[in-house]
């Protein structure tokens, strides 16, 4: 049996299973589904041995998702080409209302052969670690904001008002420690809300301290330091931006960088009429939010 020159292998990856399909490079070759396999490394090795009997050249592709990049790193470490693609950039037929793991794996293999897929950037392990730490801090800020809103809403609902100037100042915190609610049950609720705000504030402090320590030995620490020379760019903004962007040399032009950040204007033009709208917001939301908080950014100056 003559071996194919290249096999394109589509993988639909889930927590406990992976649907597999492949297609040969030759024109007219049909996509073949191999069913599902497990997610252990021995299951991956068994699949590789099975496919190597058909072709020595294997190209794998799967969608980016909650399972992360472990499969990409495992396959590339073995010397195989592997692409991770964004689900939003996968071409889909209009009116196709049937979605199964088998069909998804077959579609990935088919589109990989036709060259209609674009890989996403996969960060190095150390870069992803800093990104996880940065995103954990961002999650804490979101939780802290929600906890403060719950506490303020509870006080407003019971007409307990603070007459000072700034919320969450030392004076405001002293006032909170002296608040007495009408009933014991409401006092318990109030104290729990206050405790949640305190815990989230302490958590934010711990994460920011660890972020400062971990960045000192990071390979991209000089880039973080250089960005802070820009007006309004503080440490957390610089770390978030660099952690989300990764290696800046992968962007050939400034426009590609702005496209990744979702900061280019939307456009709906036809014929001689050109219409541009607000920014697309289609890129990396974490880096975009960090950059939009920088004072004096373009578009925020008052005329």
Q: What is the dihedral of CA 82, 86, 92, 98, to 10 degrees?
A: 90
Q: How far apart are CA 160 and CA 277, in angstroms?
A: 44
HSE at residue 175, side-chain half, CA atoms within 13 A, is 15
Place of tokens 């004076």: 171
Residue 3 has a pLDDT of: 64
Contact 230, 207 (CB under 8 A): no
* Percent of the chain that is helix, strand, coil (3-state, to 5): 50, 15, 40
Residue 300 has a pLDDT of: 43
Residue 5 has a pLDDT of: 84
Give the pairing type, strands 58-63 and 7-13: parallel
DSSP code of 298? Answer: T
Contact 215, 234 (CB under 8 A): no
Rg (the chain; Cα; Å): 26
- Six-digit token string for 107: 């579609």
Q: What is the dihedral of CA 252, 257, 262, 264, to 10 degrees?
A: -70
Residue 298 has a pLDDT of: 45
Which candidate, 284, 48, 271, 240, places its Cα nearest to that of 135?
240
Residue 59 has a pLDDT of: 97
pLDDT along the chain (303 residues), means of 10: 80 97 92 96 97 94 96 97 94 90 96 95 96 97 98 97 93 96 97 98 97 96 95 94 93 92 90 88 90 65 40
- Six-digit token string for 149: 């809103």
Residue 4 has a pLDDT of: 63
Cα 275–Cα 277–Cα 278 angle in degrees, nearest 5: 170
Residue 302 has a pLDDT of: 40
Contact 62, 70 (CB under 8 A): no
Which regions of the chain does DSSP assign to beta strands (E)? 7-13, 18-24, 32-37, 58-63, 81-85, 265-267, 276-279
Q: What is the dihedral of CA 276, 279, 280, 285, to 10 degrees?
A: 180
Residue 95 has a pLDDT of: 87
pTM of the predicted model as reported, rounded to 2 decimal places: 0.87
């Amino acid at each position: 049996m003559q071996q194919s020159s290249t096999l394109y292998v589509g993988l639909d990856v889930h927590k406990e299973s992976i649907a597999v399909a492949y297609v040969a490079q030759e024109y007219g070759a049909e996509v073949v589904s191999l069913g599902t396999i497990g997610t252990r490394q021995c299951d991956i090795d068994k699949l590789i041995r099975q496919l190597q009997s058909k072709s020595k050249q294997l190209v794998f592709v799967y969608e980016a998702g909650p399972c992360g990049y472990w499969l990409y790193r495992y396959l590339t470490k073995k010397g195989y080409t592997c692409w991770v693609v964004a689900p939003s950039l996968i071409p889909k037929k209009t009116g196709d209302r049937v979605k199964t793991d088998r069909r998804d794996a077959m579609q990935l293999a088919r589109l990989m052969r036709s060259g209609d897929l674009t890989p996403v950037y996969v960060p190095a392990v150390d870069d992803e670690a800093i990104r996880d730490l940065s995103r954990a801090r961002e999650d804490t800020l979101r939780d802290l904001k929600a906890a403060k809103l719950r506490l303020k809403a509870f006080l407003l609902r019971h007409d307990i008002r603070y007459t000072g100037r700034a919320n969450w100042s030392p004076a405001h915190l002293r006032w909170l420690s002296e608040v007495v609610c009408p009933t014991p049950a409401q006092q318990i609720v109030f104290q729990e809300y206050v405790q949640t705000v305190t815990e989230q504030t302490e958590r934010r402090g711990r994460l920011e301290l660890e972020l400062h320590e971990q960045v000192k030995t990071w390979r991209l620490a000089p880039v973080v330091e250089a960005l802070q020379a820009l007006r309004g760019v503080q440490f957390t903004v610089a770390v978030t931006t660099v952690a989300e962007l990764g290696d800046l040399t992968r962007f050939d032009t400034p426009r590609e960088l702005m496209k990744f950040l979702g900061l280019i204007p939307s456009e709906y033009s036809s014929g001689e009429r050109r219409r541009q709208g607000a920014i697309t917001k289609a890129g990396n939301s974490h880096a975009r939010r960090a950059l939009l908080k920088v004072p004096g950014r373009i578009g925020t100056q008052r005329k």
